[in-house]
Amino acid sequence: MTHARPSTIAPDLALIEQLAHDAVIALPEPWRASATQILIRVEDLAPEDLLEALQIEDPFELTGLYEGTPLTERSVMDQAHGPDVIWLFRRAILDEWIDRGDVSLGELVTHVMIHELAHHFGWSDDDIAAIDPWWE
Protein backbone atom coordinates (compact mmCIF):
# COMPACT_ATOMS: atom_id res chain seq x y z
CA MET A 1 0.00 0.00 0.00
CA THR A 2 1.33 3.41 -0.96
CA HIS A 3 0.66 6.31 1.40
CA ALA A 4 0.37 9.86 0.13
CA ARG A 5 2.66 12.41 1.67
CA PRO A 6 0.77 14.94 3.85
CA SER A 7 1.61 17.75 1.41
CA THR A 8 -0.34 15.93 -1.32
CA ILE A 9 -3.52 15.40 0.69
CA ALA A 10 -6.35 17.91 0.22
CA PRO A 11 -7.31 19.83 3.38
CA ASP A 12 -10.11 17.95 5.12
CA LEU A 13 -13.35 19.07 6.76
CA ALA A 14 -11.70 19.27 10.19
CA LEU A 15 -9.01 21.67 8.96
CA ILE A 16 -11.59 23.97 7.34
CA GLU A 17 -13.57 23.94 10.60
CA GLN A 18 -10.45 24.74 12.64
CA LEU A 19 -9.61 27.65 10.32
CA ALA A 20 -13.17 28.94 10.74
CA HIS A 21 -12.88 28.78 14.53
CA ASP A 22 -9.51 30.56 14.29
CA ALA A 23 -11.23 33.33 12.31
CA VAL A 24 -13.83 33.73 15.06
CA ILE A 25 -11.17 33.83 17.79
CA ALA A 26 -9.33 36.56 15.84
CA LEU A 27 -12.40 38.83 15.72
CA PRO A 28 -12.21 42.04 17.72
CA GLU A 29 -14.56 42.51 20.64
CA PRO A 30 -17.47 43.03 20.92
CA TRP A 31 -18.01 40.64 17.99
CA ARG A 32 -15.92 37.69 19.19
CA ALA A 33 -18.07 36.68 22.18
CA SER A 34 -21.30 36.64 20.19
CA ALA A 35 -19.71 34.90 17.19
CA THR A 36 -18.61 32.00 19.39
CA GLN A 37 -22.31 31.20 19.90
CA ILE A 38 -22.81 30.46 16.19
CA LEU A 39 -22.53 26.82 15.18
CA ILE A 40 -20.06 26.15 12.38
CA ARG A 41 -20.85 23.25 10.05
CA VAL A 42 -18.55 22.12 7.28
CA GLU A 43 -19.68 19.91 4.40
CA ASP A 44 -18.02 19.03 1.12
CA LEU A 45 -20.71 20.73 -0.97
CA ALA A 46 -24.10 22.31 -0.38
CA PRO A 47 -26.95 19.79 -0.58
CA GLU A 48 -29.16 19.76 -3.67
CA ASP A 49 -32.29 20.99 -1.86
CA LEU A 50 -30.41 24.02 -0.53
CA LEU A 51 -29.00 24.82 -3.97
CA GLU A 52 -32.49 24.56 -5.46
CA ALA A 53 -33.94 26.86 -2.78
CA LEU A 54 -31.22 29.43 -3.52
CA GLN A 55 -31.59 28.90 -7.28
CA ILE A 56 -27.92 28.00 -7.63
CA GLU A 57 -27.10 25.45 -10.32
CA ASP A 58 -23.38 24.99 -9.68
CA PRO A 59 -22.54 23.83 -6.14
CA PHE A 60 -19.03 25.25 -6.54
CA GLU A 61 -20.50 28.77 -6.55
CA LEU A 62 -21.49 28.53 -2.88
CA THR A 63 -18.60 28.65 -0.41
CA GLY A 64 -20.63 29.54 2.69
CA LEU A 65 -24.09 30.28 4.01
CA TYR A 66 -25.52 31.91 7.12
CA GLU A 67 -28.63 30.20 8.45
CA GLY A 68 -30.48 32.06 11.17
CA THR A 69 -32.11 35.34 12.04
CA PRO A 70 -29.78 38.35 11.87
CA LEU A 71 -29.37 40.18 15.17
CA THR A 72 -30.75 43.33 13.54
CA GLU A 73 -34.05 41.54 12.83
CA ARG A 74 -34.57 39.88 16.21
CA SER A 75 -37.06 40.83 18.87
CA VAL A 76 -37.05 39.95 22.55
CA MET A 77 -40.41 38.29 21.81
CA ASP A 78 -38.90 35.86 19.26
CA GLN A 79 -38.79 32.19 20.14
CA ALA A 80 -35.44 30.54 19.51
CA HIS A 81 -35.60 27.93 16.73
CA GLY A 82 -32.16 26.53 17.37
CA PRO A 83 -28.69 27.97 17.05
CA ASP A 84 -27.62 30.15 14.16
CA VAL A 85 -25.36 28.22 11.82
CA ILE A 86 -22.64 29.17 9.39
CA TRP A 87 -22.20 26.51 6.74
CA LEU A 88 -18.87 26.24 4.92
CA PHE A 89 -18.53 24.14 1.79
CA ARG A 90 -15.04 22.66 1.61
CA ARG A 91 -14.78 21.73 -2.06
CA ALA A 92 -16.09 25.10 -3.24
CA ILE A 93 -13.63 26.85 -0.90
CA LEU A 94 -10.76 24.68 -2.14
CA ASP A 95 -11.66 25.39 -5.77
CA GLU A 96 -11.66 29.14 -5.12
CA TRP A 97 -8.39 28.84 -3.20
CA ILE A 98 -6.72 27.02 -6.10
CA ASP A 99 -8.17 29.42 -8.67
CA ARG A 100 -6.90 32.45 -6.74
CA GLY A 101 -3.46 31.04 -6.07
CA ASP A 102 -2.45 34.17 -4.17
CA VAL A 103 -3.92 33.72 -0.69
CA SER A 104 -3.53 31.21 2.08
CA LEU A 105 -6.35 28.80 2.82
CA GLY A 106 -6.69 30.44 6.24
CA GLU A 107 -7.14 33.87 4.64
CA LEU A 108 -9.84 32.55 2.32
CA VAL A 109 -11.75 30.73 5.07
CA THR A 110 -11.55 33.88 7.20
CA HIS A 111 -12.92 35.93 4.30
CA VAL A 112 -15.87 33.54 3.84
CA MET A 113 -16.52 33.54 7.60
CA ILE A 114 -16.48 37.35 7.77
CA HIS A 115 -18.95 37.52 4.90
CA GLU A 116 -21.32 35.08 6.65
CA LEU A 117 -20.88 36.79 10.03
CA ALA A 118 -21.85 40.05 8.33
CA HIS A 119 -25.28 38.53 7.68
CA HIS A 120 -25.59 37.53 11.34
CA PHE A 121 -24.50 40.87 12.78
CA GLY A 122 -26.06 43.09 10.10
CA TRP A 123 -22.71 44.71 9.35
CA SER A 124 -22.40 47.52 6.83
CA ASP A 125 -19.73 47.46 4.13
CA ASP A 126 -17.66 49.80 6.32
CA ASP A 127 -17.98 47.39 9.28
CA ILE A 128 -16.83 44.51 7.11
CA ALA A 129 -13.92 46.50 5.66
CA ALA A 130 -12.71 47.33 9.17
CA ILE A 131 -12.40 43.61 9.93
CA ASP A 132 -11.65 42.08 6.51
CA PRO A 133 -9.08 43.94 4.38
CA TRP A 134 -10.29 42.07 1.27
CA TRP A 135 -13.63 43.82 1.42
CA GLU A 136 -13.76 46.71 -1.05
What tens digit of pLDDT does each residue of 67-121 get?
A: 987 677 666 666 667 789 999 999 999 999 999 989 999 999 999 999 999 998 8
User: Of 20-24, 72-76, 125-129, where does mean pLDDT reach its minimum?
Assistant: 72-76
Query: How high is the pLDDT of residue 134?
Result: 73
pLDDT confidence of residue 118: 92
How confident is the model at residue 87, as a pLDDT? 97
Distance CA 111, CA 102 (A): 14
**The pLDDT value given to residue 2:** 54
Whole-angstrom distance, CA of residue 133 vs CA of residue 38: 23
Q: Is the pLDDT of residue 135 over 70?
A: no
Domain boundaries of the chain, sorted by first residue: 11-67+83-131
pLDDT score at 9: 79
List, edge to edge, every strand of the sheet that includes 39-43: 39-43, 85-89, 64-67
Please compute the mean of the pLDDT values over residues 29-41 and round it to a whole number: 92
**132 or 8: whose pLDDT is higher?**
132
11-67+83-131 to CATH, choices 3.30.2010.20, 3.30.930.10, 3.90.245.10, 3.40.50.300:
3.30.2010.20
Distance from the Cα of residue 135 to its chain's centroid: 15
